[in-house]
Structure 1
Amino acid sequence: MELTPILTIAAKEFRDRIRNRWVLAIALVFLVFSLVIAWFGGAQQGQVGFRSIEFTIASLVSLVIYLIPLIALLLGFDAVVGERERGSLGLLLALPITRLELLLGKYLGLALALTLSTCAGFGAVAVVLWKHLDAAGLYHYAGFMLSSVLLGLAFLSIAVLLSVLARERTRASGMAIAAWFFFVLVFDLVMLGLLVSTGGKVGGDSFAWLLMLNPTDVFRVLNVFSMEDVRTLYGLASVMPESLGNPLSMGSVMVVWIVAPLLIANWRFKP
């Protein structure tokens, strides 16, 4: 595996996203929604304005869980199948480049665009709110940004896998939307139904390990267990053992979610 073709393809993918202003648009979406949540998130309690970094992160977690997986899936679902439909995939593979190098190049270019837009949007919020944040608040907010990037990269890996498996672009888009519904909406409902139907017997460590099968839940745990106030707001402390609240452990699980779909995509990749 050579680095030059990977970086060449990654640079092209990134330039394409910059040229069509995709990065700017997503960064603005994150900025606007984050500022609205930070300032008006407590309006239902009769409070307007910044309350605390704990309350802000607890509110932003829900925003990220809905938006970032959808954006990542829409960004990467046609990475391979789009080339196949345009007839350029065979031409690319005829060049001195392996399938793994092609996959990694496309993934890295899209990942850089997604990471830049995420950091730009949420980073601008930190600049606006820096007067309200102390050193601990900045540390937790930086952790929130990093975990948001990891969540986006995990779903981007899933999108690339779906793009490899699909033979048509329309089918790939349908699979991407179905994946979003499953991981963001259906999975937690199934887990809740399992918890209720068993009378709480499926709980503790077993329930916690089941949550590791969903990257959005891993992201939620990463942020819930980072601060005591946020943990209380979400009420997961009663079902999640302290051993799985370690940020390094959850970060490692998220890395697995990033790497595993790419390995499967490389295994199934055919021209």
Structure 2
Amino acid sequence: MDPRQIGTIAAKEFWDRIRNRWVLAVALVFTAFALVIAYFGAAQQGTVGFRSIEVTIASLVSLVIYLIPLIALVLGFDAIVGERERGSLDLLLSMPITRPELLLGKYFGLAAALAFSTVVGFGLVAIVLSAQLDLTALFHFFGFVGSSVLLGMAFLSIAVMLSVFASDRTRASGLAIATWFFFVLVFDLLLLGVLVVTGGSYGGDALPYLLLLNPADVFRILNIFTLDDVRTLYGLATVFPRALAEPWLLTLVMLAWIVAPLGVASWRFRK
């Protein structure tokens, strides 16, 4: 593979998102939601204003789990199948470029756009809150931003894989929405249902490992388990073993969620 070919395609995808204001819109959405949560997240308890970085990150984690996977899936579901329907895929492949180069170029360009909007959106929040944050709090916040980028890339990788397998954009969009429902809404309910029905006698020991099969859960654990004040509130201290919650290990799991779907997509696209 020629890195220059990949870089050319990635740059085109990235600047296309810049020109259609997509990056700006997503960044503003992240900034607006994050500021509202930071200052008004405790309004139900009768208090308004920034309280602590731990509470803010815990609230933002819930927002990101719903929002970023959906944005990533919508961004990437037609990456390949859209080119096929428009008739431009054959034209692209007639040029001196291989299928893996085209696939990776599109992925890296979309990933750069998503990462840029995430960093800018939450970075503006860090600037606004910087006067109220010490170095430790800033470290936790930027760790949260970095894990948000990884979460977006994982679901974007899944979206590109779906785009390769789908026969048309309609099916690809349906698969993308179904994927979002499964990982964000259904997966945890299924695990909880099994535990409740069996009274905890079946699947309890395997629960921490089953949670690793969902990138949204990996993201949640990666952020919540590093905050002592919030970990007990979420109950993760009694469910998820500390040895399995090492940040470096969870980061590797998240990277596997990025690489594995791309590998499957590349294999399928070659055929």
Give the partner amino acid of 1:59.
S
Distance 1:23 1:37 in 2: 21
Partner residue of 1:143?
Answer: 143
Q: What is the CA distance between 1:198 and its match in structure 2?
A: 2.0
Distance 2:37 2:204 in 1: 32
Partner residue of 2:268?
Answer: 268
How does 1:164-243 map onto structure 2 within 5 Å? Answer: 164-202=164-202, 205-243=205-243
Give the partner amino acid of 2:217.
D
Structure 1 unaligned regions, length at least 5:
none
Deviating beyond 3 angstroms after TM superposition, the runs of 4 or more aligned structure 1 residues are 202-205
Distance 1:78 1:270 in 2: 17
How does 1:72-111 map onto structure 2 within 5 Å? Answer: 72-111=72-111
Partner-residue secondary structure (3-state), 1:213: coil
When residues 205 and 133 of structure 1 are mapped into structure 2, their CA distance, relative to the original with a 3 A threshold, is: farther
Distance 1:230 1:75 in 2: 32
Distance 1:169 1:115 in 2: 24
Partner residue of 1:8?
Answer: 8
**Contact 1:58–1:233, Cα closer than 8 Å, also in 2:** no
**Contact 2:222–2:250, Cα closer than 8 Å, also in 1:** yes
Partner residue of 2:131?
Answer: 131
Distance 2:149 2:205 in 1: 27
Give the partner amino acid of 2:263.
L
Distance 1:89 1:48 in 2: 53
Distance 1:247 1:32 in 2: 28
Q: Over residues 18-46 of structure 1, what are the superposed CA-to-partner deviations in whole Å (9 max), with x where a residue is unaligned?
A: 00000000000000000000000001111
Cα RMSD after superposing both structures? 1.0
The two structures have a TM-score, normalised by structure 2, of 0.98
**Contact 1:223–1:230, Cα closer than 8 Å, also in 2:** no
Alignment size in residue pairs: 271
Q: What is the CA distance between 1:205 and its match in structure 2?
A: 4.5
Distance 2:205 2:247 in 1: 17
Partner-residue secondary structure (3-state), 1:238: helix
Give the partner amino acid of 1:246.
E
**Contact 1:205–1:240, Cα closer than 8 Å, also in 2:** no
The two structures have a TM-score, normalised by structure 1, of 0.98
Distance 1:170 1:226 in 2: 40
Structure 2 unaligned regions, length at least 5:
none
Partner-residue secondary structure (3-state), 1:27: helix
Partner residue of 2:160?
Answer: 160
**Contact 2:100–2:270, Cα closer than 8 Å, also in 1:** no
**Contact 1:211–1:218, Cα closer than 8 Å, also in 2:** yes
When residues 94 and 84 of structure 1 are mapped into structure 2, their CA distance, relative to the original with a 3 A threshold, is: same
**Contact 2:85–2:168, Cα closer than 8 Å, also in 1:** yes
Distance 1:126 1:227 in 2: 18
Distance 1:229 1:151 in 2: 23
Give the partner amino acid of 1:176.
A
Q: What is the CA distance between 1:233 and its match in structure 2?
A: 2.3
Identical amino acids, percent of aligned pairs: 70
Distance 1:233 1:260 in 2: 33
Give the partner amino acid of 2:122.
F
Distance 1:220 1:196 in 2: 22
**Contact 2:195–2:204, Cα closer than 8 Å, also in 1:** no
Partner-residue secondary structure (3-state), 1:269: helix
Distance 2:3 2:249 in 1: 30
Q: What is the CA distance between 1:48 and its match in structure 2?
A: 0.4
**Contact 2:53–2:141, Cα closer than 8 Å, also in 1:** yes
Q: What is the CA distance between 1:202 and its match in structure 2?
A: 3.9
How does 1:9-28 map onto structure 2 within 5 Å? Answer: 9-28=9-28
Q: What is the CA distance between 1:201 and its match in structure 2?
A: 2.5
**Contact 2:23–2:116, Cα closer than 8 Å, also in 1:** yes
Give the partner amino acid of 2:38.
A
Distance 1:37 1:132 in 2: 15
Distance 1:93 1:29 in 2: 36
